């Protein structure tokens, strides 16, 4: 089992500059995805055909699903496999990405950015001219998106859709059955540099639909510990932390708080 704070080494460390990965997560470390569920996922022109039960692997919540898209002839041989690993931290997501890469038969995969694909904090694509595979880590999430059907198709757009889902701050909605954040609190409003504190959010949906959460900060980073989101910063300043609670229909509630780091 990989420790979620380990810098990937071994064969992956020799094939890829994994030490540099840590420096490229400046955006992702200030985002946290928590309690994501499959029903929150939609892809234009793709239809869900199968979804595995959620499972735990190496401390991550794993969501795996299969999607189909009809070709011009109406066939359904265009299949896409999506795996999303929600990890305890952004470092854990990088470790999961290393795991994805270690299972590839190719000696080394190209970085997505070198092929004009801006996805993730760190991302790689398959070697095909068609973007049939994308591996990425963004925030505390690792992604594996593959074309697995008889017809090879590009999965670039679905991968971009997932990346945007995690990084874009949604606009709060107003609706008769909107979710509600009843409270959003931190254990201590003033902390020392490097001190870890838990964040407490209580939210509900009037129709009892499940909710998933996004956290954003301008300072520091997030983690999940004992199935609860937390925050820390190694730099002093005032962290402005926002939380968004989202249901499967795209309705959104928002709240915020501040933490002073001394």
pLDDT in tens, 33-62: 999 999 999 998 899 999 999 999 889 999
Provide the token pair at 62: 């794993």
246, exposed or middle or buried, with CB in 10 Å at 0-12, 13-18, 19+?
Answer: buried
Residue 93's closest CA among 33, 164, 177?
33
Q: Measure the CA–CA gap between 88 and 27, rounded to whole angstroms.
A: 16
Q: Name the strands in the sheet holding 237-247, side by side, starting at the edge strand that comes first in the sequence.
A: 31-34, 211-217, 237-247, 252-261, 190-191
> Which residues, given as ranges, of the chain have pLDDT below 70?
1-11, 13, 71-76, 107
Provide the token pair at 135: 């591996």
Per CATH, domain 10-167 is 3.40.1000: yes
Per CATH, domain 180-261 is 2.60.40.1080: yes
pLDDT value of position 7: 54
HSE of 33, CA atoms in CB hemisphere, 13 A: 30
Tell me which residue has tokens 């190496």.
Answer: 58
pLDDT value of position 151: 87
Residue ranges per structural domain of the chain: 10-167, 180-261
pLDDT value of position 189: 97
Q: Measure the CA–CA gap between 191 and 103, rounded to whole angstroms.
A: 41
pLDDT value of position 4: 46
Looking at the DSSP assignment, which residues form a beta bridge with residue 51?
A: 65
pLDDT value of position 80: 96
Q: Measure the CA–CA gap between 67 and 33, rounded to whole angstroms.
A: 22
Provide the token pair at 256: 């915020």
Residue 250's closest CA among 178, 201, 161?
178
């Amino acid at each position: 089992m990989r420790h979620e704070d380990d810098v990937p080494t071994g064969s992956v460390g020799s094939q890829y500059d994994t030490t540099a990965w840590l420096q490229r997560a400046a955006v992702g470390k200030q985002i946290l995805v928590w309690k994501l569920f499959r029903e929150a996922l939609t892809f234009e022109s793709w239809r869900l055909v199968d979804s595995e039960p959620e499972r735990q692997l190496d401390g991550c919540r794993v969501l795996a699903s299969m999607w189909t898209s009809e070709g011009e002839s109406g066939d359904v041989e265009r299949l896409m496999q999506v795996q999303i690993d929600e990890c305890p931290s952004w470092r854990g997501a990088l470790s999961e990405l290393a795991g994805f890469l270690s299972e590839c038969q190719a000696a080394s995969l190209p970085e997505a950015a070198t092929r004009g694909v801006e996805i993730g904090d760190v991302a790689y694509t398959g070697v095909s001219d068609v973007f049939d595979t994308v591996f990425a880590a963004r925030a505390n999430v690792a992604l594996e998106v593959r074309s697995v059907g008889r017809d090879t198709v590009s999965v670039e757009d679905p991968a971009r859709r997932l990346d945007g889902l995690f990084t874009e701050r949604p606009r709060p909605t107003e609706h008769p059955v909107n979710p509600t954040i009843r409270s959003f609190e931190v254990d201590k409003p003033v902390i020392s540099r490097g001190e870890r504190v838990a964040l407490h959010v209580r939210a509900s949906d009037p129709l009892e639909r499940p909710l998933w959460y996004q956290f954003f900060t301008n300072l520091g980073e997030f983690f999940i510990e004992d199935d609860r989101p937390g925050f820390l910063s190694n730099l002093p300043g005032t962290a402005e932390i926002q939380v968004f609670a989202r249901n499967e229909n795209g309705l959104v509630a928002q709240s915020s708080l501040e933490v002073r780091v001394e």
